[in-house]
Amino acid sequence: MKTKKKIRTSLSSFQDFFSEHKSVLKESFIALLICALGDLFAGIILGNMTFFLETFPGLLVIIPGAIGMRGNIFGTFASRLSTNLHIGILSPEFKFSEDLNNNIISSFVLTLVLSLFLAIIAKLFCILLHYESMSLIDFIFVSVIAGIISNLIMLPITMLVSFKSFSHGWDPDNITTPIIAALGDLLTLPAIIVSVIFLSFLNTDAFIKNICFVVIIVLVIIAFIYAIKKSDESKKIIFQSIPILLLCSALGVSAGIILNSSVETLLTNPTLLTLLPLFSGLCGSLISILSARLSSSLHYGLIEPLTRPQGESIHNFLICYVLALLMFPFIGFLAEDSTEILGLVGVGFVNIIAISLISGIILLTIMIFVVYFISINSYNHDLDPDNIVIPISTSLTDAISSLILVSVSLLLLGII
């Protein structure tokens, strides 16, 4: 059994802090850059989906939830892998084991179940708001098929990034979650496009379409029963994750409501609209890094689950603030630069950088306390933080990031 590392009880000097955490800052910074580029390309893909959005009404409703769900499921999968690698349950040689198989099966089943639930929620959302939309069966086809496609790609990539980063001496907590978030943003939209094309072919023959629908429902049910009966570990992961992920779906809807009610009426500037997905993606990745590091530290014994954070916990908070000071001005610059390249009028580099940085610091300050509170309370109640903290914190981040960005934008630009 591995000896636990010594718990840190005091803060070192700033010079010692930067020296000690140089590798963490470097690894996380590179990962967050990749995340920013992924969100930028995701926006480009979404901008070219006009034909599909017009042909299949209601499709836009499911897209934010699908992107968030992918990040939540595979973010927690990556966090569990990282924790198991740190404490020695999994070998960095990438050998299949019972623990790894349980994690793979659980993630796949969660994708199927949550994709089905997301389709139902999307249809209900359209009915309640009187949106024109495709049928429930069509929603289920698009959501589940896109989930399977994304799953087949993201499962091996998540494992590859986790194991390879660990075997090269890098901390997966600093790398995997933001990279997986970026991949989720990139892969979800193409997967939805493929599923919509597949649905178009099925719509030409109602009998085959109904057969395929029955097969999908049976597949979800069989997979769910198999996973919960396979082992106590997979059953634990599924039953701890599903309620949290259902809550995250509701928070995703809240994020959409905030965007639709605020952005369309208050933010008419293209730079601010470009900044929105970059800001939301970066905030989610930054919070994911913090969540994963706190979870691993709790499991490894580096952090005591105390009500008041101290020592190692505060070091993790400071790491996030340093990354925020580097990344939020960068995405502000990226948003304004993209606007100018497209020949549109922006708000100016100084304004957009100030908006991005101030909004980011406010959100990060709020979420640091939320993440720490959820982490220690889930750990103290014998719940695995890997299954809980990332999905709740990132979904809550999505829900409030737009509100904070809109409010700061209105204040700094003097609109109110």
Please tell me the distance from the alpha carbon of residue 276 to that of residue 350, in angstroms, as a whole number: 17
Tell the burial category of 25 from Cβ atoms under 10 Å away from its Cβ (0-12, 13-18, 19+).
middle
pLDDT at 7: 52
Cα-based torsion angle of the residue sequence 256, 259, 264, 270 in order, rounded to the nearest 10 degrees: -120
Cβ–Cβ < 8 Å for 403, 385? no
Q: What is the DSSP letter of 7?
A: P
pLDDT at 268: 62
User: How many residues in the chain?
Assistant: 416
pLDDT at 23: 81
pLDDT per residue, tens digit, the chain (416 aa), is 344 444 554 555 667 777 777 888 888 888 888 778 777 776 566 656 667 767 788 777 787 777 777 777 887 788 788 878 877 778 777 677 788 888 889 889 999 998 898 888 888 878 887 777 888 999 999 999 999 998 898 888 888 888 888 887 777 767 776 777 777 777 887 888 899 999 988 888 888 889 989 999 999 999 999 989 988 888 888 888 888 778 777 776 666 555 555 544 444 666 776 787 788 778 888 888 888 888 878 877 777 766 677 778 888 899 999 999 999 999 999 888 877 887 777 788 999 999 999 999 999 999 998 999 988 888 888 877 767 777 778 777 877 887 788 788 878 877 54
3-state secondary structure of 91: coil
pLDDT at 267: 47
Please tell me the distance from the alpha carbon of residue 398 to that of residue 395, in angstroms, as a whole number: 5
Give the global pTM: 0.69
| φ and ψ of 186, to 5 deg | -70, -45
14: its two tokens: 């700033």
Residues near 111 by Cβ (< 8 Å), separated by ≥ 6?
A: 69, 70, 73, 147, 148, 150, 151
Q: How far does the chain reach from its first CA to its final CA, in angstroms?
A: 60
Amino acid identity for residue 108 in this structure: F
Cβ–Cβ < 8 Å for 311, 302? no
| φ and ψ of 157, to 5 deg | -65, -40
Amino acid identity for residue 176 in this structure: T
Please tell me the distance from the alpha carbon of residue 276 to that of residue 176, in angstroms, as a whole number: 23
Give the C-alpha distances (Å, rounded to integers) separating 137 from 62, 112, 209, 319.
14, 15, 9, 46
Residues near 162 by Cβ (< 8 Å), separated by ≥ 6?
A: 78, 81, 82, 85, 172, 176
Please tell me the distance from the alpha carbon of residue 347 to that of residue 352, in angstroms, as a whole number: 6
- DSSP-assigned letters across all residues of 19-39: HHTHHHHHHHHHHHHHHHHHH
Tokens 């085959």 belong to 208
Please tell me the distance from the alpha carbon of residue 241 to that of residue 221, in angstroms, as a whole number: 17
